[in-house]
Amino acid sequence: MKKFLISLLFLVLFVILAWWSWDWYKKNALCCGDNLPATTDVAVEEISYGPLTFDWENGSATTHESWADKKNELLADLADGKVLRIVGPYFSEEVNTTSFENLGLARADAVQKLLLDSIPAEKMEIDSKLLDPNADAKTKPFEGIDFAWVIRNENVQEIDNKALIYFPYNSTQRIDNANISDYLNKVAQALEGNDKKVYLTGYTDNVGNPEFNRKLGRDRASAVKQTLIDSGVSADRILVDSQGQSDPIASNDTEAGREKNRRVVLEIK
Nearest-angstrom CA–CA distance, 55 and 134: 12
pLDDT of amino acid 177: 80
Nearest-angstrom CA–CA distance, 160 and 148: 10
**3-state class (DSSP) for residue 257:** helix
Whether 41 shows a pLDDT value over 90: the answer reads no
Band of residue 160 on the pLDDT scale cut at 50, 70, 90: confident
Domain ranges of the chain: 52-151, 156-268
pLDDT in tens, 80-108: 899 999 999 999 999 999 999 999 999 99
Band of residue 1 on the pLDDT scale cut at 50, 70, 90: low
Mean pLDDT of 130-154: 95
pTM for the whole structure: 0.71
Distances (CA, A) of 31 to 16, 23, 26, 119: 21, 11, 6, 70
Closest CA to 83 of 160, 157, 152: 152
Whether 148 shows a pLDDT value over 70: the answer reads yes
Whether 173 shows a pLDDT value over 80: the answer reads no
Closest CA to 247 of 201, 199, 203, 200: 203
Instruction: For residue 114, give the DSSP letter.
Output: H
Whether 24 shows a pLDDT value over 90: the answer reads no
Distances (CA, A) of 28 to 18, 61, 179: 15, 59, 86
| C-alpha dihedral sign at 186, 192, 198, 202 | positive
DSSP symbols for 123-165 = GEEEEEEEPPP-GGGGTS-B---EEEEEEBSSSEEEETTEEEE
How many degrees, rounded to 5, is the angle at CA 224 between CA 184 and CA 186?
A: 5
pLDDT of amino acid 45: 61
Nearest-angstrom CA–CA distance, 261 and 166: 8
Whether 266 shows a pLDDT value over 60: the answer reads yes
Whether 30 shows a pLDDT value over 60: the answer reads no
Whether 72 shows a pLDDT value over 90: the answer reads yes
pLDDT in tens, 176-215: 688 888 999 999 999 999 999 999 999 999 999 999 999 9
Same fold, 52-151 and 156-268: yes
- Domain 156-268: give its CATH code: 3.30.1330.60
Nearest-angstrom CA–CA distance, 171 and 263: 11
Whether 157 shows a pLDDT value over 90: the answer reads yes
Residue 91 backbone dihedrals phi, psi, to 5 degrees: -115, 145
pLDDT of amino acid 70: 97
Query: Mean pLDDT in the chain?
Result: 88
> Kind of pairing, strands 238-244 and 198-203?
parallel
Mean pLDDT of 71-81: 94
- Domain 52-151: give its CATH code: 3.30.1330.60
Residues of the chain above pLDDT 90, percent: 73
Furthest C-alpha separation in the chain: 140
- Cβ–Cβ < 8 Å for 126, 105: yes
pLDDT in tens, 209-253: 999 999 999 999 999 999 999 999 999 999 999 999 999 999 999
